[in-house]
C-alpha cells in the first residue's frame, strides 16, 4: 500500500500514514519459513488512542498490530546472562476467534539496566518550533516531555538543544545542568515555517563534536513530522540518518499533535536511525516513554535482531504472522549480517503471534484441484511444531550470534483457551487486527475482545478496555452512516 494522504478528522487534515495490507496466509508446503525484523516501536498504539478518544474513525493504515501488542509488558523471564542479552519464551493457545487454529507466541525480554549502570550519554534534543507546533498538544507538551527526560539523566550525561523553524539554531550547548536544560526548554516558542533537514544536520554535527566513545550518542527529535521537504530531500534525509547510524549516532523520533502529522516519515527515519518511534499524546504517555522506559530508549543491548520460524509440515498446514508486515525479511536475509534489522534496548520486550492451522484441521486456503499441485503428504509424526531461530549482534560487534529454540508438537494438542498474559496479548492483537478490517477474525467483536482481556491490573491495561469500548461505539456510529 502506498503512503496515504487523507482527510482524517477535521477538514484540511494532512496526516500521512504508510500502511500495509494484512499479511497473506502462507502454506507450509510452499513457504515453511517466516523471517522478520523485531520492532520495539509503540507509536501506533498511542496514535490510535488519540483517534478513539476524540471520537474519530481510526485509519486502517495507521494501525500496526505489532506496535499495539508491544505497547504492553508481559511476564517474560529476565535473561540468565548478559552474554545472551534477552530471554526467549514460547507458548501455544487455542484461538478465541477460530476453533480450527492455534496461536503461537514468541516473546523476547532484554536485561534491565539502571541509570547508574549504563554508559554516559551525549544527547541532542532536536525540537521543531515551527508555526505548526503552536497548539497545546504540540510544543507545550514537547517542553513538558523533554523536562521529564532531563530529570532522569545523571551527572555523567550531557544534553544539547537544537531548534528548527525558518532556520535552525543551537539554543543550548552541551551541559549536564538540569537547571540550564529546563530553562532553555522553557524559553522555546513556536513560529515560522519548517526546515527539518537543516535542523537534523546541525544536530548530527553537535552529536559528532561531542561524541562519547563507548557511550550513548543519540538524537531525540520532537516534531509533528511536517518537514515540508520534497521526495528528493526525503531521500537525502534518509541517507544522512543512515550514515550517522553507521558512525554510532542513533535517532529516536517523538511525534506530537494532529492535523498535519507525518507518521510515515517519523517511523521511517527512526528505523533507519537504529532508534525507536513513539507518539506522545499526553503527559502520562510522556512519563511512560521518557521516564519509566527511558533506559530502553537510550541503551541498546542487541542490534540487528532477526527472528526466523520454520514450521514442521507434519504438524502445521498453514500460518500467518499477525502484524510485522513492514518488518518482513527474505529468508536469505536471516544469515546475512549486512542486512539491517531492529535493535533492542535495555528492558525492551518484543512479542510476535502466529495463527497456525494444525495438519488435518480446516484451513483458510482452498484445496488444489490437480494432484500435482497438491502439497505432498507429510509424515504422520514430527519432532516439533516449529523451530525458532534468532540472530543478533552485541553492541560494537559486526558478527551475529544465534539462538535456537524448538517448540514442542505436543503443545498443539494440549493448547487450551488463552489465560493471563497470553489472553491479554491475544486481545490486543485482535483489537489491532479488527481496526485494520482483518477478515480472518470473522464475527469476533469488541465485546469479545474486552472479555478476552479479562480484568487486568494497572493503569494502561485498564485503559485498553476503555479503548475497546470506544472502538465499539465508533463502529456503531460508522455503520449508522452507511
- CATH number, domain of 254, equals 3.40.50.410
Q: Which of 264, 279, 296 is the last residue of a domain?
A: 296
Residue 35 lies in a domain: yes
Whether residues 194 and 314 fall in one domain? no
In total, how many domains does the chain have? 2
Whether residues 137 and 247 fall in one domain? yes
Whether residues 256 and 345 fall in one domain? no
Residue 169 lies in a domain: yes
Domain that includes residue 352, residue range = 25-113+300-367+385-481
pLDDT at position 369: 72
Half-sphere exposure of 397 (CA within 13 A, CB side): 15
Residues 6 or more apart in contact with residue 239 via CB below 8 angstroms: none
Whether residues 86 and 132 fall in one domain? no
pLDDT at position 371: 64
- Rg of the chain on CA atoms, in Å: 23
405: its cell numbers:
529454540
Residue 9 lies in a domain: no
Whether residues 182 and 326 fall in one domain? no
Residue 373 lies in a domain: no
pLDDT at position 462: 98
Residue 374 lies in a domain: no
pLDDT at position 246: 94
Asked whether the beta carbons of 112 and 346 are under 8 A apart, the reply is yes
Q: Which of 270, 296, 322 is the last residue of a domain?
A: 296
Whether residues 268 and 132 fall in one domain? yes
pLDDT at position 264: 87
Residue 4 lies in a domain: no
Q: Which of 296, 327, 347 is the last residue of a domain?
A: 296
Whether residues 171 and 318 fall in one domain? no
pLDDT at position 404: 98
Whether residues 138 and 228 fall in one domain? yes
Profile the chain (482 residues) by mean pLDDT over runs of 10 residues: 43 73 96 97 97 96 97 97 94 98 98 95 95 91 97 97 86 98 96 70 96 97 72 77 96 90 89 95 96 94 98 97 97 98 97 98 87 60 87 96 97 96 99 98 98 96 98 92 75
Whether residues 157 and 271 fall in one domain? yes
Whether residues 134 and 181 fall in one domain? yes
> Which residues make beta-bridge pairs with 170?
162
Whether residues 150 and 268 fall in one domain? yes
Residues 6 or more apart in contact with residue 406 via CB below 8 angstroms: 383, 384, 386, 387, 388
pLDDT at position 199: 85
Whether residues 182 and 207 fall in one domain? yes
Residue 353 lies in a domain: yes
Residue 355 lies in a domain: yes
- CATH number, domain of 477, equals 2.60.40.1230
Amino acid at each position: 500500500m502506498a503512503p496515504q494522504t487523507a482527510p482524517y478528522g477535521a477538514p484540511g487534515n494532512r496526516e500521512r500514514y504508510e500502511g500495509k495490507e494484512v499479511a497473506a496466509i502462507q502454506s507450509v508446503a510452499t513457504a515453511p519459513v517466516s523471517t522478520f525484523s523485531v520492532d520495539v516501536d509503540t507509536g501506533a498504539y498511542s496514535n490510535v488512542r488519540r483517534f478513539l478518544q476524540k471520537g474519530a474513525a481510526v485509519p486502517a493504515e495507521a494501525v500496526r498490530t505489532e506496535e499495539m501488542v508491544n505497547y504492553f509488558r508481559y511476564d517474560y523471564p529476565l535473561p540468565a546472562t548478559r552474554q545472551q542479552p534477552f530471554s526467549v519464551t514460547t507458548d501455544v493457545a487455542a484461538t478465541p476467534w477460530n476453533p480450527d487454529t492455534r496461536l503461537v507466541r514468541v516473546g523476547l525480554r532484554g536485561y534491565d539496566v539502571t541509570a547508574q549502570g549504563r554508559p554516559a550519554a551525549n544527547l541532542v534534543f532536536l525540537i521543531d518550533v515551527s508555526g505548526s507546533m503552536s497548539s497545546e498538544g504540540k510544543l507545550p507538551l514537547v517542553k513538558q516531555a523533554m523536562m521529564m527526560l532531563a530529570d532522569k539523566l545523571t551527572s555523567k550525561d550531557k544534553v544539547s538543544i537544537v531548534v528548527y523553524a525558518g532556520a535552525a539554531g543551537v539554543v543550548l550547548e552541551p551541559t549536564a545542568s538540569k537547571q540550564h536544560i529546563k530553562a532553555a526548554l522553557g524559553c522555546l516558542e513556536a513560529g515560522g515555517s519548517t526546515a527539518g533537514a537543516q535542523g537534523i544536520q546541525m544536530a548530527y554535527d553537535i552529536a559528532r563534536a561531542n561524541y562519547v566513545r563507548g557511550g550513548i550518542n543519540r538524537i531525540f527529535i520532537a516534531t509533528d513530522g511536517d518537514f515540508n521537504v520534497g521526495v528528493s530531500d526525503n531521500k537525502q534525509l534518509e541517507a544522512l540518518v543512515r550514515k550517522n547510524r553507521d558512525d554510532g549516532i542513533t535517532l529516536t523520533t517523538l511525534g506530537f499533535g494532529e492535523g498535519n502529522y507525518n507518521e510515515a516519515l517519523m517511523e521511517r527515519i527512526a528505523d533507519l536511525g537504529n532508534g525507536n518511534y513513539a507518539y506522545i499524546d499526553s503527559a502520562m504517555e510522556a512519563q511512560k516513554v521518557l521516564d519509566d522506559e527511558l533506559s530502553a530508549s537510550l541503551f541498546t543491548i542487541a542490534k540487528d535482531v532477526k527472528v526466523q520460524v520454520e514450521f514442521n509440515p507434519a504438524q502445521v498446514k498453514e500460518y500467518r504472522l499477525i502484524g510485522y508486515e513492514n518488518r518482513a525479511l527474505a529468508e536469505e536475509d536471516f544469515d546475512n549480517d549486512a542486512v539491517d534489522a531492529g535493535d533492542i534496548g535495555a528492558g525492551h520486550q518484543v512479542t510476535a503471534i502466529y495463527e497456525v492451522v494444525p495438519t488435518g484441521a480446516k484451513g483458510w486456503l482452498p484445496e488444489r484441484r490437480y494432484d500435482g499441485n497438491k502439497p505432498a503428504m507429510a509424515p504422520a509424526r514430527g519432532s516439533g511444531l516449529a523451530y525458532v531461530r534468532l540472530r543478533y549482534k552485541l553492541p560494537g560487534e559486526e558478527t551475529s550470534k544465534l539462538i535456537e529454540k524448538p517448540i514442542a508438537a505436543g503443545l498443539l494438542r494440549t493448547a487450551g483457551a488463552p489465560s493471563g498474559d497470553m489472553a491479554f496479548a491475544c486481545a490486543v492483537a485482535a483489537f489491532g487486527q479488527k481496526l485494520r478490517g482483518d477478515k480472518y477474525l470473522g464475527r469476533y467483536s469488541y465485546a469479545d475482545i474486552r472479555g478476552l482481556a479479562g480484568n487486568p491490573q494497572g493503569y494502561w491495561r485498564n485503559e485498553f478496555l476503555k479503548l475497546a469500548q470506544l472502538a465499539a461505539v465508533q463502529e456503531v456510529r460508522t455503520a449508522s452512516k452507511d
